[in-house]
Structure 1
Amino acid sequence: MGGFKATLINEIEKLYKKKKIIVAAALALIFIIVGQLATIALRNGFGVRTVGSMEFPILVLSVVANTIIPLFAALITIDSFSGEFSQNTMKISLTRPVTRFKFFTAKLTAIILFVFLNLMFVMVFSVLAGLIFNSNTLTAYGIIRIFISYIVTIFPMIILVMMIIFFSNLINSGIGVFFLSIIVFLGFKVLGILFSDYSGIFFTSMLDWYNLWIMSVFPFIKILREFLLLCSYGIILFTGGFYLFDKKNF
């Protein structure tokens, strides 16, 4: 366990030093500010009824969960695997007294923490933006709905990260992994639209599964079905990604 902890701390430090994290946070903050200003302009300038302070963070989540966070999760994941492969720094990291399984798991955990912190960052600032400009709709129930929505979104994000890790160990080129990830991501999105009856089997459609958690009538069976499907994706991608990583010669 000590080897895993030390490796995890080292991977977190490496991610912390990457400028992509700052850029991701800045873009998310800019989006929140612009979104809130647009909401105010529509309400005051045109008299259009807009979302309240409790609905605004959910609206922000629906956008960033399908754009900014997946994009930067992909960039960070590619840097952590393909980037280190090409720079031959992976070999140095593996000289530490830690198994490849622990090393692989530590990298995955560090990336998941990055995604989770991004979600929490967006949640906090979107809630604050909503409260500053429209505090009348603040309720404890609304806060709980927002918190649950952001927390459960981490699960499909983990599957996305695992998919990119799998591609990173399958293809040596970081650029190739990036474009392949985009093609697969958009491909699943398009297939989900064209075959709406079967959209539930594509993990990209589950980026919005937080909507199930905040419905007035809790759809337990549907949530359980999608959770088991996410687990299946996770097992397959984790096993495949580690198998390819373990077979690499450094």
Structure 2
Amino acid sequence: MQIIKSVFINEIFKISKKKKITAALIFSMLSVIIAAIVEYSLNNFAGIRVTGNSEFSILILTILIYSLLPLFTTFICVDMFAGEFADHTIKFTLTGPASRAKVFLGKILAIATFIICNLIVVMIFSIVASLFLNSNLPNFFKILVSYFMAFLPIFIFALAAVLISNITRGPTSAFMLSIFVFLVFIGLNLVFPQIRSFLFTSFFDWFRLILGNYINYSKILRIFLILLGYGIMFCAAGYYLFEKKDI
């Protein structure tokens, strides 16, 4: 456990030094600010009511979870796997006392931490913005639960990006293929709605199931089990390829 903790701290340190991570957090904050300005302009100058005070945070989450959040997550996954293999910095990690399994787990935990931090930044800024847009207090509980639920599908996509990063030879091809797979899955959701239940990308907005007056707990459980199954498969396949990959 101590070795995993050391690997995790080392990966977090490396992530914190990457300019892409700083840029990702800044763009996340700017996207919330721009959306708040747009909604304020529509509300006060055009007379169009886009969302309520609680719905603004949910609207931002719905938009970002299909755009910037997967994009930034792909960046970090590719950098931590395909990028380190390409520039051979992975040698310093793999020649240490930690086994490949512990290194892989430490990297996955670091990616999960990045996703959580990104969601927290978006949630805080969206809540603050909603307070300026509406004098009434938003429903903090529903917002918190929605952002908490949004973590899982993004993390599953991160595991898919990790798997792709261990298949490809370079970071550019890993990034392009990850985005291509994401777009293909989204396209399949739209073109073939009958197979939506088999594609994990169709559950990116599954947090909406808790927003209505009636909460279908059985459906939430079914989606959770599907996402969990995807996560186990992607994680196992990604680790297998990581274990077999030459440095």
- TM-score norm. by structure 1 comes to 0.96
Q: CA deviation at 1:213?
A: 2.4
What CA distance in whole angstroms lies between the structure 2 residues aligned with 1:135 and 1:172?
53
Q: Which whole-Å CA distance do the structure 1 matches of 2:194 and 2:220 have between them?
A: 17
Which residue identity does 2:181 align to in structure 1? V
Once the two structures are aligned, what percentage of the paired residues are identical? 39
Q: Matched residues in 2 for 1:213 and 1:19: separation?
A: 36
The letter for the 2-side match of 1:102 is: K
1:222 aligns with: 219
Query: How many Å apart are 1:20 and its aligned residue?
Result: 1.1
Structure-2 residue corresponding to 1:104: 104
Shift of 1:126: 0.4
Is 2:154 the partner of 1:157? yes
Code of the aligned partner of 2:239: F
SS in 2 for 1:66: coil
Which residue identity does 1:162 align to in structure 2? L
Measure how far apart 1:107 and its partner are. 0.3
Measured after TM superposition, the shift of residue 95 of structure 1 is 1.6
Aligned to 1:238: 235
> 1:217 is matched by which residue type in structure 2?
Y
Q: Distance in 2 between matches of 1:236 and 1:43?
A: 46
**Which consecutive segments of 4 or more residues in structure 1 shift more than 2 A?**
none
TM-superposed deviation, 1:200: 2.2
Stretches of structure 2 that go unaligned for 5 or more consecutive residues are: none
Q: Which residue number corresponds to residue 57 of structure 1?
A: 57
2:192 match: 195
| TM-score normalised according to structure 2 size | 0.97
Structure 1 residue 147 corresponds to structure 2 residue 160: no
Secondary structure of 1:215 counterpart:
coil
Q: Which residue of 1 aligns with 2:69?
A: 69
What count of residue pairs does the alignment treat as equivalent? 247
How far does the alpha carbon of each residue in 1:172-228 deviate from its partner, in whole angstroms, 9 at most, with x for none? 111111111111101111110111132122111111011012222111111111111
Question: In the alignment, which of 159, 167, 171 is matched to residue 170 of structure 1?
Answer: 167
Deviates most, 43-52 or 234-243: 43-52
